[in-house]
Structure 1
Amino acid sequence: MKATIWHNPACGTSRKTLAILEETPGIELTVIEYLKTPYDAAKLRQLFADAGLAPRDALRLRGTDAAERGLPDAEADAIVAAMAANPAYVERPFVETDKGVRLCRPQDKVHEIL
């Protein structure tokens, strides 16, 4: 099974999710460090739709200035545009497999799509 993780090595939950994927037999893993290779708006929309999330649900507030910028109250398109411009606004990690997409917070959510 193919799996892609949008990973931040500085994030404990992202590291734990990556470890689960690496320890799962039969996984062909792609790791994207999204702070180095940012999302584009189309990919964000696809991930959110496939995960059943609104952009606001995936907005990272902790450690960012998203709240000060008014993003929690912004329209979906404005949130996606801000996330595409600054990937630190995206909560992590997202994982995509043939079985779906999950925002893996907590990391055990990854088992739903393995």
Structure 2
Amino acid sequence: MRKITIYHNPACGTSRNTLALIRNSGVEPTIIFYLENPPSRTELLNIIEDLQMSPRELLRKNVEPYETLNLSQAHWNNSQIIDFMLQYPILINRPIVITELGTKLCRPSEVVLEILPDRQSAAFTKEDGEQIIDEQGNRIIK
């Protein structure tokens, strides 16, 4: 597998850990800094379909303008939520990773391992100090 795309926010620790896990598998992904280059409507609809989520499930709730726009209210339909995500890309939860094996919202970051076929090349410890890959490249299950 050589084609991997990550919708990435470098200010997010989960996104940085996910990117590092992809690189630890020996692949340099295509990195889309989605805050600067948000997906088109078609791309976002395809991502949502691939994730098998509703737009509301992909909506990031702990950022502005979620509260300002009153997005917790049920009266917003899927098309309106997508409009808000396109207007305010910070509302798109991330990181989203697309590989030949599928598309995942990688929260927590180790979810990415489900769609990376290659074994990890080295031990890996997340930024918070949690080791998730051992020295042999195997996932540590807790």
- Normalised to the residue count of structure 1, the TM-score between the two structures is 0.93
Match of 1:3 in 2: 4
The code of the aligned residue for 1:107 comes to: S
Match of 1:106 in 2: 108
Instruction: Measure how far apart 1:63 and its partner are.
Output: 2.0
**Counterparts of residues 77-88 of structure 1 (less than 5 Å):** 77-88=79-90
Any runs of at least 4 consecutive aligned residues in structure 1 with deviations exceeding 2 A, and if so which?
A: 70-73
- Unaligned 5+ segments in structure 2 are 117-142
**Counterparts of residues 1-114 of structure 1 (less than 5 Å):** 1=1, 2-25=3-26, 27-72=27-72, 73=74, 74-114=76-116
- Normalised to the residue count of structure 2, the TM-score between the two structures is 0.76
Q: Identity percentage over the alignment? A: 40
> What do the CA deviations read for 1:38-91 (whole angstroms, capped 9, x no partner)?
111111111111011111011011122213313232111111111111100101
Count of residues paired in the alignment: 113
Asked which structure has the greater RCO (Cα within 8 Å, sep 6+), the reply is 1
Task: Compare CA radii of gyration and give the structure with the larger one.
Answer: 2
Q: Distance in 2 between matches of 1:101 and 1:57?
A: 15
Q: Distance in 2 between matches of 1:12 and 1:44?
A: 23
CA RMSD of aligned residues (A): 1.1
